[in-house]
Amino acid sequence: MTLDSPHLGDGVNDTRATASDHPEVTTADLRRAAWGASAGSALEYYDFALYSLASALVFGPLFFPSDNPSTGLVLSFATYFIGFAVRPLGGIFFGRLGDRLGRKFVLLATIILMGVASTGIGLLPTYHGSEGDWYSGGVGMLAPLLLVALRICQGLGAGAEMAGASILMTEYAPKNRRGFFASLPFLGVQVGTVVAALVYFLVYFGEGQITDTWLWRVPFLASVIILAVAMYLRINLKESPTFRKLEAKDQIDHRPLQNLLEHSRPSLLRGIGLRVAENGSSSMYQALAVAYVTSAAVGVTGPIGALSLVFAASLGAIVVPIAGQLSDRFGRVKTYRAFAYFQLVSAFPIWWALSQGSVVLTIVVISLALGIGTWGMFGAQSAFLSELFGSRQRYLGVSVAREVSAVLSGGLAPLIGAWIIAMVVAADGGASVPGAGLGAWVFIAGYLCILTLITIGTTYVTPDPIDRDLNDPRDAFTAAKV
């Protein structure tokens, strides 16, 4: 089996390029692309981490008040899921534009949509209102409806944001260092996560009832700062070399969705399978774990979620580029599979540790779970997914693969987990004391293992696309058969 590289099986090619594969790309261009892609990723995951924390801690009483806190939590995570549910639509819409109008155009459009939506959440009136808020009057059911509308806008923009950032860097990078350079936008993920967690921690610190004040709005309003920086960087970007070649040869696909479904289904299905474990665990550890340890089932108090994400993202900032480099050295498949196995074997120990109600232990295990398992796969994923698809449907293919998996795993995982927590606490008579319903961790860990096994199985039926020609219009599986 060949895939433009004589070493498909082990992913190592001795005839590696020593300079850029695109003579027209200068070092300054590569640096500018890295900064521009990373800034957008920082905004997306600032929003992602912020919404995760808010869903777990404040959206319930603010927008879904209920006599039963578990009901409010489930409804809060339902809006969280809605953002994921519309991401495939955003991926299809913006992905088609990315393959027809260019990577840069879509990267600008998505960053504006996400930034405006996130800032808008900070301006929303709440269900009942509060005397300590700048908008003291409540608007009832209009409040959650407005939240859902802005969450949908977030999801539509996010549906193509990370796909575009990873494709841009993969198409810019030297062939022998695609894994490393393509992982750099994912460093923006860590930066965005840390900033969101720190902002949330500073706002939360000293405020026992943050939902009674206007302070919960501050982290969302701060999105406008990251938006301004990201827009400035992206306006000055050059289009990717691969898309410029398609334009020059008049090879742009004007029916990318139809051709993707007809010719790239094997790559598309495997891309979805590869992401199930990473996306599911990301949501479960960033959102569900925080809700679990602060619920009646465990009873931890304080800004534990924000602190955990600070340490986890700091570790992830180290692991992500290392994972990218490892994928250049040992191949995409082997590297990705190794991090997935780490997640599999650690799932039950980590969720057991979360059930113990220890602040220190919670921070340590969430840091390990996210920083190594989840974000190790994340770092190896960027070049991997981009190389699976041909040049003419690459943006759409990566977007659809990423976002369908986001619905199937990332969006559903915390919703299912919140339902499990509610059911277990209810089975204990609705106890509101620490230690009630500790058995929930077993079911949550088991669910995570199922997601991870799907990804591990996918790696065994996916050829390693390392070093393939990115200008080839064929997807990886078609090229592998030649």
290-313 tens-digit pLDDT? 778 877 667 777 667 778 888 888
Domain-embedded: residue 345 = yes
User: Residue 223: inside a domain, yes or no?
Assistant: yes
Q: How confident is the model at residue 220 (pLDDT cuts 50, 70, 90)?
A: confident
Residue 269 within any structural domain of the chain: yes
- Measured CA distances, 99 to 177, 262, 395 (Å): 24, 16, 6
Q: How many C-beta atoms lie closer than 10 Å to residue 265's C-beta?
A: 12
Rounded to an integer, what distance in angstroms lies between the CA atom of residue 445 and that of residue 369?
12
The reply to whether 250 falls in a domain is no
Q: Count the domains in the chain.
A: 1
Instruction: State how far the Cα of 106 lies from the Cα of 97, in Å rounded to an integer.
Output: 7
Contact 200, 306 (CB under 8 A): yes
Handedness of CA 456, 462, 468, 469 (dihedral sign): negative
Output 1 or 112, whichever has higher pLDDT.
Answer: 112
The candidate with the shortest Cα–Cα distance to 93, out of 153, 160, 155, is: 160
Domain that includes residue 122, residue range? 28-238+261-477
Q: What is the C-alpha to C-alpha distance for residues 319 and 327, in angstroms, rounded to an integer?
A: 12
Instruction: Give the separation between CA 460 and CA 206, rounded to whole angstroms.
Output: 50
pLDDT in tens, 102-125: 888 888 888 888 888 889 988 888
**CATH code, domain with 127:** 1.20.1250.20
Residue 149: inside a domain: yes
> Which residues fall within 8 angstroms of residue 425, CB to CB, at 6 or more apart?
70, 295, 296, 297, 431, 436, 437, 440
Asked, for residue 2, whether it belongs to a domain, the answer is no
Task: Render pLDDT for 174-217 as a digit per residue (tens, 0 to 9).
Answer: 888 999 999 988 888 788 878 877 877 777 665 556 666 777 78
What DSSP line would sit under 31-88, residue for residue?
HHHHHHHHHHHHHHHHHHHHHHHHHHHTHHHHHS--SSHHHHHHHHHHHHHHHHHTHH
254 neighbors 97 (Cβ within 8 angstroms): no
In whole angstroms, how far apart are CA 475 and each of 6, 394, 482?
Answer: 17, 8, 12
Confidence of residue 64 (pLDDT cuts 50, 70, 90): confident
244, part of any domain = no
In a domain, 251, yes or no: no
